[in-house]
Amino acid sequence: MKLQKSNFVFILIMLVLLFVLSFLLWQRFDAELKQYTELQHTLMQHQATQTAQGIDVEISHIRNQMSAISLDGSWLSDIDLFENMPTVQESMFDRLKFYFPKMYAFSIASEKGEQLGGDIDFFIGDKCQADITKVASMYTPEVPYFNYEPYIHAKNGAYHFDVMIPVYIDEKKLVFFISFKASLLSKVLSNHIISEHQTYLVRKDIPDSIEVTSKQSREGLNRSDRLGPEELKLIKAEAFVPNTRWKVVVLENQEILNNFRVKRLLDAEVIYAVLVVFWVSVLWLGIFYENRRQNLLFKLNHQNQHDVLTGLANRRMLAEELNCMVEQVHKFNIFGAILYLDLNDFKQVNDSNGHKVGDLLLIEFSKRLAVLTRDADVIARVGGDEFVLLLKNLGKSEVEVASVVNEVLDRMKEELNDEYKLGDITLKCTPSIGVVIVNDKDLDVDSLLKRADKDMYQHKKQLKKG
């Protein structure tokens, strides 16, 4: 029982340790995943912010140059001539193209949205006319003229955005604006890619409407120009572009996180497998060591209480059992008996046949005693050829006990007096038996053994005389 309990405690401790280590390993995996996810989100936000700043720089540069040109009165001295002469318009286009190499088209319109001249291939649509009217109304000292917010205008083959400012020429309020193809914004997005997460430029007022991507404008998309519900959930970073109708959004690339998760999970599985192998090894070694230690203790304890040759109880164990027997007799008033046995002529057997045969005789004699006794009885070897039997719980009176003891002695005579076949040798070696009944008057264990020993020698003398 001690052996099983010891192993159970050790296994329980090892299981708790495995659980703790598994929990710590999972916590580490979860922490690394969260840290990586936070890092990616930080990177995405940086990408969105940098892209928005890049677009703002581009638009602000265009505005500043347009403001500088519009404030120069010599850039268009005769608005009527400009309005009626295509050559003047073409000259102006070439001049503006020099200042704005990325320019798609330019125009000058009245405050009502009527085109006065510009790029002859450019057509002012309804939305442009509405914006022109709005920009013209901004020309007051209280409102900065650059408050027009660009957005993408749909024109087949040339999706574009406008930058407009109101001007005052020859006492006329006009609107000067330049158009740029949407691909210019795509290049800005592409130049600020610092991660594998997808960047989109969308409308502030219509968050799911895609203006451009890092590869193309809305007209060249091979997909819907609207972000789907699932895509909107993947937006983890955004940044507004000042003085425009745009904001930059970055969608989380879940494949990146999944790849990292799978890789780290694989690493964790390898670590866990090594941990389990180590744990099993320690568990096996621990159980092996504990069993070995317990077996050694059991053997030492057994050797301490048993005879090495026959495996019977020795004097120490006999004394303990006899003490318990005496206590039980006094407590429960159930008597027992002590049988002291000595093999007659055992010395002659040793001298004639050798100690090896003598040892075999003792072993065989012990086996016959075991057959003649109950499990509750105790058989002890107390000397070379001396044995003691403790017969427990035989009755509540000496007469009853004596009757049982006589029956035992009769069986012993039949069993123990037979010849012993020890290999090629056949021997006959009978025992002398002394008997003492243990009753409620007996307290001294040593005196009981001495009385049994004395009775045995009396029996031996009678055999020699007879």
Mean pLDDT of the chain: 85
Long-range CB contacts (within 8 A, 24+) of 352-361: 353/425, 353/427, 357/422, 357/423, 357/425, 357/427, 359/309, 360/422, 360/423, 361/420, 361/422, 361/427, 361/429
Residue 223 has pLDDT above 70, yes or no: yes
**Per-residue pLDDT reduced to its tens digit, 274-317:** 888 888 888 888 788 877 877 787 777 777 778 888 889 888 88
| pLDDT given for residue 2 in this prediction | 46
Beta bridge partners of 200: 213, 249
* Residues contacting residue 238 through CB under 8 Å, at least 6 positions apart: 48, 247, 248, 249, 250
Candidate from 62-66, 105-109, 301-305 with smallest mean pLDDT: 301-305
Query: From the DSSP assignment, how many helices (H) and strands (E) are in the chain?
Result: 12, 15
* Residues contacting residue 2 through CB under 8 Å, at least 6 positions apart: 294
| pLDDT given for residue 188 in this prediction | 94
39-254 and 306-465 in the same fold? no
**Per-residue pLDDT reduced to its tens digit, 73-90:** 677 666 667 767 777 778
Give me the amino acid identity at 134.
K
Q: Are 395 and 401 in contact (CB under 8 A)?
A: yes
- As a whole number of angstroms, the distance between CA 372 and CA 34 comes to 77
Topology (CATH) of 39-254:
Beta-Lactamase (3.30.450)
Q: Where do the structural domains in the chain lie, given as residue ranges?
A: 39-254, 306-465
Candidate from 123-127, 367-371, 428-432 with smallest mean pLDDT: 123-127
- As a whole number of angstroms, the distance between CA 460 and CA 466 comes to 10
Sign of CA dihedral 388, 394, 399, 405: negative
- As a whole number of angstroms, the distance between CA 344 and CA 60 comes to 126
Alpha helices in 141-253 (DSSP H): 183-191, 229-233
Pick the CATH number of 306-465 from 3.30.230.70, 2.60.40.10, 3.30.930.10, 3.30.70.270: 3.30.70.270
**Per-residue pLDDT reduced to its tens digit, 349-365:** 888 888 898 899 999 99
Candidate from 211-215, 369-373, 401-405, 438-442 with smallest mean pLDDT: 438-442
- As a whole number of angstroms, the distance between CA 113 and CA 166 comes to 12
Would you place residue 1 in the very low, low, confident or very high pLDDT band (cuts 50, 70, 90)?
A: very low
| pLDDT given for residue 143 in this prediction | 57
pTM across the whole model:
0.62
Residue 146 has pLDDT above 60, yes or no: no
* Residues contacting residue 241 through CB under 8 Å, at least 6 positions apart: 52, 55, 56, 59, 201, 247, 248
